[in-house]
DNA sequence: AATGCTTTGACTACAGTGAT
DNA sequence: ATCACTGTAGTCAAAGCATT
């Protein structure tokens, strides 16, 4: 014989005061959802009091809620939480869009692992329980797998974001000198497998690019800095061949017919490029770049298929360097 | 108003945990 | 091992709710 439940008078009176239809149920479930979302990690007892229903009903509400958003009881917190903290903030994302994020993550993993972690946590926020791509399809192959000093990188990133000045001890490769400088970090640049910080240097009273791996010591200052009105790093860097700054120079180079097709594979090798396809099959390119060092390295990769027309100084330098190289080979 | 459906509280059972 | 305690879930009849 099953025992008959005996609903107490008190409970019956309460029911009469407050009807228990679907509407009331929905309101209670939303109340619970709201409390969990606010990280109040409520207990069943508390919820029963708040909703003015029995604990058994709360378990039933939680069961329903669990169909929509996974909810778990956390013994440490002593109450209920979302299984995934960002569960409700989920945005519908296409597989292709996720694949793009994975590609970007591939780039970051190989250049700035600490940023990769941030991207992944962002992805978790965007798409906590949604579909995941089967795997990565686009791959980024840098020429160097970077070993980055994450601590230094993070200090500089934060300083650049917050516009806080930095005091650095820098070991220059060119001069082989160690100097201490106050800098205003404008931004970070990833180039050729290495990270650089572009900054205003108070020692030189001018902007400079510092390789992060050459920074020996770094300390964040309590002073803020301002970036000149209208300054953007992207615009500034456009003038360089890669990243280094110097006086603008016009460089005119003629490439032989042998490599004309290779040259034509890129519509432009630098944003300042002017291209002339000559009747004899050769191609003349004219660039305006800041400094000739970086473009010189690029030109060496085209040996022996080019001829420098301007400037004469670059032509002379390369002649000297190639002469030395020949001597070494012999 | 009659009917079927939904919601509810009480009771119960059971698994897991921690103290003894 | 035993016990107390807690969290969870199945079940039932009562009562309200929705629909016709």
- Provide the CATH number for the domain around residue A63: 1.10.10.10
Secondary structure letter of residue A135 according to DSSP: S
Contact A301, A294 (CB under 8 A): no
Residue A104 lies in a domain: yes
**A229 and A258 both lie in a single domain:** no
Closest nucleotide (CA of A28 to C1')? B7
Residue A53 lies in a domain: yes
Give the Cα separation of A100 and A94 in Å (integer): 10
Total domains in chain A come to: 4
Residue with tokens 């000297």: A320
**A95 and A78 both lie in a single domain:** no
Residue nearest to nucleotide C11 (CA to C1'): A2
User: What Å value separates CA A44 and C1' B6?
Assistant: 22
Burial A276-296 (b: 16+ CB within 10 A, else e): eeeeeebbebbbebbbbebbb
**A73 and A118 both lie in a single domain:** no
**A36 and A23 both lie in a single domain:** yes
**A95 and A83 both lie in a single domain:** no
- Position A5 scores a pLDDT of 46
Task: Count Cα atoms within 13 angstroms, Cβ side, for A153.
Answer: 17
Among A88, A111, A130, the domain boundary falls at A88
Residues A5-54 pLDDT 10s:
455 555 555 555 555 566 678 888 888 888 888 888 888 888 888 888 88
Residue A262 lies in a domain: yes
Among A213, A238, A263, the domain boundary falls at A238
**A35 and A110 both lie in a single domain:** no
Q: Which two tokens stand for residue A118?
A: 């941030």
> Which residues touch A317 (CB under 8 Å, ≥6 apart)?
A292, A296
**A39 and A15 both lie in a single domain:** yes
Residue A284 lies in a domain: yes
What residues of chain A score a pLDDT lower than 50? 1-5
- Position A183 scores a pLDDT of 94
- Position A90 scores a pLDDT of 64
Residue nearest to nucleotide B10 (CA to C1'): A5
**A84 and A100 both lie in a single domain:** no
CATH number at residue A278: 3.30.70
Selection from A114, A134, A132 nearest residue A123 by Cα: A132
Residue A1 lies in a domain: no
- Position A4 scores a pLDDT of 45
Closest nucleotide (CA of A10 to C1')? B9
Residue A243 lies in a domain: no
> Which domain covers residue A99, as residue numbers?
90-141
Residue A3 lies in a domain: no
How many Cβ atoms from other residues are within 10 Å of residue A223's Cβ?
A: 11
- Position A38 scores a pLDDT of 84
Which strand C nucleotides have any atom less than 7 A from protein CB atoms? Answer: 7-18
- Position A105 scores a pLDDT of 83
Which strand B nucleotides have any atom less than 7 A from protein CB atoms? Answer: 6-12
- Position A166 scores a pLDDT of 94
**A155 and A231 both lie in a single domain:** yes
User: What Å value separates CA A26 and C1' B10?
Assistant: 23
Signed CA dihedral, A52, A54, A60, A65: sign only: positive
Give the Cα separation of A199 and A180 in Å (integer): 14
- Position A330 scores a pLDDT of 75
User: What Å value separates CA A35 and C1' B15?
Assistant: 28
- Position A76 scores a pLDDT of 79
**A225 and A265 both lie in a single domain:** no
Residue A21 lies in a domain: yes
- Position A146 scores a pLDDT of 63
């Amino acid at each position: 014989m099953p025992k008959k439940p005996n609903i107490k008078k008190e409970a019956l009176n309460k029911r009469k005061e407050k009807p228990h239809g679907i509407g009331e149920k929905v309101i209670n479930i939303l109340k619970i959802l709201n409390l969990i979302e606010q990280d109040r990690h409520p207990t069943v007892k508390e919820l029963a009091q708040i909703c003015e229903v029995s604990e058994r009903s709360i378990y039933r509400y939680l069961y329903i809620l669990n169909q929509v958003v996974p909810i778990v009881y956390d013994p440490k917190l002593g109450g209920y939480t979302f299984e995934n903290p960002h569960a409700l903030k989920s945005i519908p994302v296409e597989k292709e869009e996720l694949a793009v994020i994975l590609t970007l993550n591939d780039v970051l993993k190989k250049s700035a692992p600490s940023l990769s972690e941030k991207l992944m946590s962002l992805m978790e926020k965007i798409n906590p329980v949604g579909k995941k791509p089967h795997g990565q399809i686009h791959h980024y192959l840098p020429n160097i797998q970077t070993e980055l000093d994450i601590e230094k990188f993070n200090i500089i990133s934060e300083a650049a974001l917050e516009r806080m000045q930095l005091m650095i001890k820098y070991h220059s490769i060119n001069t082989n000198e160690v100097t201490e400088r106050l800098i205003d970090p404008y931004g970070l640049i990833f180039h050729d497998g290495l990270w650089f910080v572009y900054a205003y240097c108070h020692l030189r009273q001018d902007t400079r690019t510092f390789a992060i791996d050459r920074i020996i010591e770094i300390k964040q200052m309590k002073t803020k800095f301002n970036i000149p009105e209208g300054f953007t790093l992207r615009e500034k860097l456009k003038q360089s061949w890669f990243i280094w700054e110097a006086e603008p120079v016009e460089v005119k180079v003629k490439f032989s017919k042998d490599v004309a097709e290779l040259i034509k594979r890129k519509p432009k090798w630098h944003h300042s490029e002017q291209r002339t396809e000559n009747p004899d099959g050769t191609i003349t390119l004219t660039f305006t770049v800041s400094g000739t060092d970086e473009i010189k390295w690029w030109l060496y990769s085209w040996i022996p298929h080019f001829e420098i027309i301007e400037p004469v100084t670059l032509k002379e330098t390369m002649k000297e360097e190639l002469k030395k190289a020949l001597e070494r080979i012999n």
